[in-house]
Structure 1
Amino acid sequence: MSSTPLFTTPPPPPPPSINRNTLSANVANFPPSPDKLAILLDKPNSINQLLQIHATLLRHGLDQHPILNFKLQRSYSSLGRLDYSLALFNRTRNPNIFVYTSIINAHSLQGLSEEALLIYIRMLFEGVQPNEFTFSSILKSCSIQLGKMLHSQVIKLGFDSDLYVKTGLVDVYARGGDIGSARLVFERMLERSLVSLTTMLTCYAKHGELDEARLLFDGMVKKDVVCWNVMIDGYAQHGRPNEALVLFRRMLATKARPDEITLLAVSSACGQLGALESGRWLHSFIKNNNIQVTVRVATALIDMYSKCGSLEDARLVFDSIHDKDVVAWNSMIIGYTLHGFSRDALDLFHEMCRTGLRPTDITFIGVLGACGHAGLVSEGRSLFNAMENEYGIEPKVEHYGCMVNLLGRAGQLEEAYDLVKNMKRESDPILWGALLGACRLHDNLELGEKIAEFLVSRNIANSGTYILLSNMYAAKGKWEEVARIRTLMKESGVTKEPGCSSIEVQNKVHEFLAGDLKHPKTKEIYMMLEEMNGWVKAHGYTPQTEIVLHDIEDWQKEQSLEVHSEKLALAYGLISTKPGTPIKIVKNLRVCPDCHAVIKLISKITGRKIVMRDRNRFHHFVNGSCSCGDYW
């Protein structure tokens, strides 16, 4: 802690009159009563005013006055001068429980749990008995291990029925990931405040127990904006964005006013769904309600618009930000990368560097990804080397992943393999998976088998490992090997993620699986599919049956291709929107080559722009061409 003297020169002589605004400058020579000083200490205007009052206390022998000393210490902490507060505490003779609790609380609020614990231990050695406020203060930032020890003391000293202490314990267990203990303490609470309910709600939502969270949320009589935020953000963070949007609309119906946290969560949900109209409505809501668009909110809107397929809207928001931070630049760079506009992403990167902002590790994920989408191998190598050499940023797994993708897609498999083998940190299954994907792309079964064997032998293979290897065998017609891999998958409990495509029509998101028959307009959708088939075949389309990796007849393979989820979503878009309007589709997996070829032709035949976001990037289909240049 700082040992710098608190005061230098005495304050100037006082003017004739004394009021609250000028008192701190007057009290040096004409001190008011301790009661008036106490009022000033409750709400100091600035650290300078507080220093003047402190000087007055020292000058007139009031520095050990128990109430004034306590309030002074607390005020220093509230103004961010914990060092001054601690210096005062250390000079206090025989501090009582209130003084101890105040300094413990100040350290806890700063996240200094170890220091708070040391003061707590000192208090016990001095024979000062903790009270309920002491426990609720120290529990704010302590670890779960310390929390368990304090829990036993809470019970021993009889504070286990106190509402604030129990809320603190729930929070400790929740932060430590011990949901069972948090639930046990919560359920034993005879009384529950809004804070305790919100604490348990946060615990459930943070750890993905969303059904439990919703049950608790729906049972809450009173809900403030924090409760709504916890539940909406929980849905958005754990892959249930549709429910996040539904709950947000319900929140607005109750007249609750959203804040910045709400807007960030809802923007994220819109981005995940690719729900552009919902995102535009949210942006209009912000404007119409005069909600301040902070850099953080603007950055979330850039991210949302980029993921919803509208780079134009994203760029308008980006250009409207006056004091752009590096996060805002990163968001726009990654937006260009997602859409395959690699040169725009790299140009924006160089423009950012010219402004004097230093790139971060996220920036390099964006620009290396841009190189990967365009096959810019030499530029990618140069940027990767510049990370450490010019900017002092040690590459992370994600950066190695970008390089593996860049080299692998460009057919430089051996260089990519050497990069993964020789990387400074332990290689990640995702890197090997990316390399395995490149082997599948370039039909290198020998290297693919070597990588798959490595992953399986170390028990780090995932569903992607098995599926890629199975696909490689299927492409070679090795059906016995395909059967063996699928048996391995079953024995290992690995399941394949089903392909799912979604489309937003009139602010409602419609989802489709391959061969889906659950949609209310299934009959019309399949009639449109037949019509689409006729169109594309008349334009020379031949089904790419070789990508159907099952040992079945060709006619069955054709039928399988016809009902892929993205084609169902496209058919629904064609029958549900006006001719000439753009269609936007989101798929959770990589778009297959057959669907890619069909959508290119449909864009030409119908004169529609079709935008598809798959797991890797955006594809903009216009007049028979795709923005990816068939390099994806």
Structure 2
Amino acid sequence: MRDKGVDVTAESVAVVISVCAEMPIKCEIVHGHVITAGFEKYIFVRNALISMYGRNSAVEKAEYLFSGLESKSIVSWNALISAYAQSGLCEEAYSAFLRLENLDDNSTVRPNVVTWTAVIDGFAATGLHKETTLELFRQMQFAQVLANAVTVASVLSVCAELSALPLGKEIHAHAIKTLMDKDILVTNGLINMYMKCGSLKTGHSLFERMGFRDVTSWNIMITGYGMHGFGDGAVKNFYHMVNSGVKPDEITFVAVLSACSHSGLVSEGHEIFNQMTKEFQIEPKVEHYSCMVDLFGRAGLLQEASQILKSMPMEPNAPVWGALLNSCKMHKNTDFAEETASRIFNLNAEGTGSYMLLSNLYASSGRWDEAAKVRMSARTRGLKKIPGQSWIEVKKKVHSFSAGKGLDLNMEEVYGVLEDLNLQMVMESCVAEGLLEQADAKEEYACLLW
């Protein structure tokens, strides 16, 4: 355009900036061209620059440009809030959202669907403050702002993580009512929610009714079957996907290999792993090798798992060694575990999982001194175990509880039930151990007679 001598307008510059926001380039270079051409004073150009800096995690520069605006439109606010959200700064995004909400009554600028979606999607993407995401969605509905496909997909992802099936069903009804249920983003979100919540039949039914399935649709199905222990279903869907002409990606192979690992499908997983490079020209990443180590390790083939580690073209990281250590614990192989744990400790891994695994393995073998030393070593390094957390939805409100956390209102009854269940499991475990001891004694007696 410039070579042909056509005058560049502010509108065309704004379009170019929006494209640059999606590319790994130097934002300052683009910004410099805008200043040189004299277009920085235009509000829509500044808005585009704020978005560009936000998508490249240069939040301070986005803030600077926003603060310099004399008149801030809803697009300006949305650009800033999105910049925070895309950088994982959810609290800052929510704070800016509240500032926008609390503008004086004379202002015509109010949060719209893009504003709400940016904040909701930001909280959902971080995986933290899941309850906040759902509460914001409810507030959005009370504000009578109609959600779009991105909003619905974000909330569905949180429902999937929390196993909030009743709320997920409500959102499904909302999607049907607003004619969004045919949008592939929403449909994938619905299938993911139903599969992760254990409603495999409903998830499969929605999948079968899809007019078009992308690679994400297939990945969701494979992951869903795998996480519930239906490795055969995951493998079947993998080959169905390939036969349908959809090329699997790296995520597909992580999903299907993980499913094979948790279902003990060693030969199937090994064959699929070999197909990655031979048939689909996808070079295995560290995640795929980790799945293979786990696959062989869980099956008790620790030598084969160790061989996979040695054959890796990259340096094994802590999760890969952790997969082998977990298998050592499962099969009570202390010698293998000690060597593996030393490798992890040398990597200065931040997590406490490996320490706990080795300590528990020592404890199960009656080696209490070694178990205590491992735990002390973790404390010396300043490592703390993050307590597990659970959620439950009661009357459309999500309650969370974890070890060492103060009881919420009316949570005493929940903990009482948990104690009863724990006692019952301990008793049943003792009974099971007694039966096993009796079986072992009978077998030993039979051998003596023989």
How would you bin the TM-score normalised by the shorter chain? 0.7 to 0.9
> CA 1:438–1:256 in structure 2 vs 1: closer, same or farther (change >3 Å)?
same
Shift of 1:484: 3.6
Shift of 1:446: 2.3
Q: What corresponds to 1:412 in structure 2? A: 301
Shift of 1:499: 1.4
The 5-angstrom pairing of residues 428-467 of structure 1 reads: 428-460=317-349, 462-467=351-356
SS at match of 1:324: coil
Quote the Cα distance in structure 2 between the aligned partners of 1:486 and 1:190. Answer: 58
Counterpart among 264, 267, 274 of residue 385 in structure 1: 274
1:370 to 2:281 alignment: no
The 5-angstrom pairing of residues 2-81 of structure 1 reads: none
Counterpart among 177, 180, 204 of residue 315 in structure 1: 204
Code of the aligned partner of 2:364: A
1:49-76: CA deviations, max 9, x gaps?
Answer: xxxxxxxxxxxxxxxxxxxxxxxxxxxx
Quote the Cα distance in structure 2 between the aligned partners of 1:273 and 1:249. Answer: 16
Question: Which structure has the larger Rg over C-alpha atoms?
Answer: 1
Code of the aligned partner of 1:441: M
Q: What corresponds to 2:66 in structure 1? A: 186
Bigger Cα displacement from structure 2, 514-523 vs 403-412 = 514-523
8 Å contact from structure 2 (residues 17, 30) kept in 1? no
8 Å contact from structure 2 (residues 11, 45) kept in 1? no
Q: What corresponds to 1:117 in structure 2? A: none
Code of the aligned partner of 1:263: V
8 Å contact from structure 1 (residues 229, 261) kept in 2? yes
8 Å contact from structure 2 (residues 160, 193) kept in 1? yes
Quote the Cα distance in structure 2 between the aligned partners of 1:102 and 1:430. Answer: 49
> CA 1:338–1:257 in structure 2 vs 1: closer, same or farther (change >3 Å)?
same
Counterpart among 212, 233, 240 of residue 121 in structure 2: 233
Quote the Cα distance in structure 1 between the aligned partners of 2:113 and 2:411. Answer: 40
Shift of 1:534: 6.7
1:294 to 2:205 alignment: no
1:161-209: CA deviations, max 9, x gaps?
Answer: 6534443443343233232333333334333221221111112112222
8 Å contact from structure 2 (residues 55, 86) kept in 1? no
Q: What corresponds to 2:192 in structure 1? A: 303
The 5-angstrom pairing of residues 499-510 of structure 1 reads: 499-510=388-399
Shift of 1:412: 0.9
> CA 1:315–1:142 in structure 2 vs 1: closer, same or farther (change >3 Å)?
closer
Counterpart among 191, 198, 201 of residue 78 in structure 2: 198
Q: What corresponds to 2:87 in structure 1? A: 207
> CA 1:476–1:265 in structure 2 vs 1: closer, same or farther (change >3 Å)?
same
Structure with the larger helix share:
2
RMSD of the alignment, in Å?
2.9
Counterpart among 214, 231, 241 of residue 352 in structure 1: 241
Shift of 1:350: 2.6
Quote the Cα distance in structure 2 between the aligned partners of 1:534 and 1:484. Answer: 30
Shift of 1:244: 1.0
SS at match of 1:391: coil
Counterpart among 89, 95, 99 of residue 219 in structure 1: 99
> CA 1:460–1:224 in structure 2 vs 1: closer, same or farther (change >3 Å)?
same
> CA 1:187–1:448 in structure 2 vs 1: closer, same or farther (change >3 Å)?
farther
Quote the Cα distance in structure 1 between the aligned partners of 2:39 and 2:238. Answer: 57
1:369-425: CA deviations, max 9, x gaps?
Answer: 221122111111111111211222222222212211111101111211111121123
Counterpart among 228, 242, 247 of residue 136 in structure 2: 247
Identity %: 36
> CA 1:286–1:159 in structure 2 vs 1: closer, same or farther (change >3 Å)?
closer
SS at match of 1:359: coil
> CA 1:515–1:197 in structure 2 vs 1: closer, same or farther (change >3 Å)?
closer
Shift of 1:527: 4.6
Bigger Cα displacement from structure 2, 528-537 vs 235-244 = 528-537
Shift of 1:271: 0.5
8 Å contact from structure 1 (residues 429, 461) kept in 2? no
Q: What corresponds to 1:148 in structure 2? A: 28
**Consecutive unaligned residues in structure 2, runs of 5 or more:** 102-109, 434-450
TM-score normalised according to structure 2 size:
0.84
SS at match of 2:398: strand
| Aligned pairs, number | 424
SS at match of 2:100: coil
Quote the Cα distance in structure 2 between the aligned partners of 1:478 and 1:299. Answer: 49
The 5-angstrom pairing of residues 508-547 of structure 1 reads: 508-514=397-403, 518-529=407-418, 531-532=420-421, 541=430
1:491-544: CA deviations, max 9, x gaps?
Answer: 433221101122223333222213666143344345545654675577674599
Code of the aligned partner of 1:473: Y
SS at match of 2:212: coil
Q: What corresponds to 2:448 in structure 1? A: none
Shift of 1:300: 1.3
Code of the aligned partner of 1:428: N
Q: What corresponds to 2:447 in structure 1? A: none
> CA 1:158–1:437 in structure 2 vs 1: closer, same or farther (change >3 Å)?
same
> CA 1:177–1:488 in structure 2 vs 1: closer, same or farther (change >3 Å)?
farther
> CA 1:379–1:291 in structure 2 vs 1: closer, same or farther (change >3 Å)?
closer
> CA 1:183–1:467 in structure 2 vs 1: closer, same or farther (change >3 Å)?
farther
Quote the Cα distance in structure 2 between the aligned partners of 1:374 and 1:533. Answer: 27
8 Å contact from structure 1 (residues 274, 308) kept in 2? yes
Counterpart among 342, 350, 373 of residue 231 in structure 2: 342
Q: What corresponds to 1:326 in structure 2? A: 215
1:170 to 2:81 alignment: no
Quote the Cα distance in structure 1 between the aligned partners of 2:415 and 2:7. Answer: 78
> CA 1:542–1:210 in structure 2 vs 1: closer, same or farther (change >3 Å)?
farther
Quote the Cα distance in structure 1 between the aligned partners of 2:24 and 2:234. Answer: 42
Bigger Cα displacement from structure 2, 503-512 vs 148-157 = 148-157
Shift of 1:159: 6.4
Quote the Cα distance in structure 2 between the aligned partners of 1:481 and 1:539. Answer: 30
> CA 1:162–1:539 in structure 2 vs 1: closer, same or farther (change >3 Å)?
closer
Quote the Cα distance in structure 1 between the aligned partners of 2:72 and 2:85. Answer: 18
SS at match of 1:467: helix
TM-score normalised according to structure 1 size:
0.61
Q: What corresponds to 1:118 in structure 2? A: none
Shift of 1:144: 6.5
Code of the aligned partner of 2:56: G
Quote the Cα distance in structure 2 between the aligned partners of 1:362 and 1:416. Answer: 21
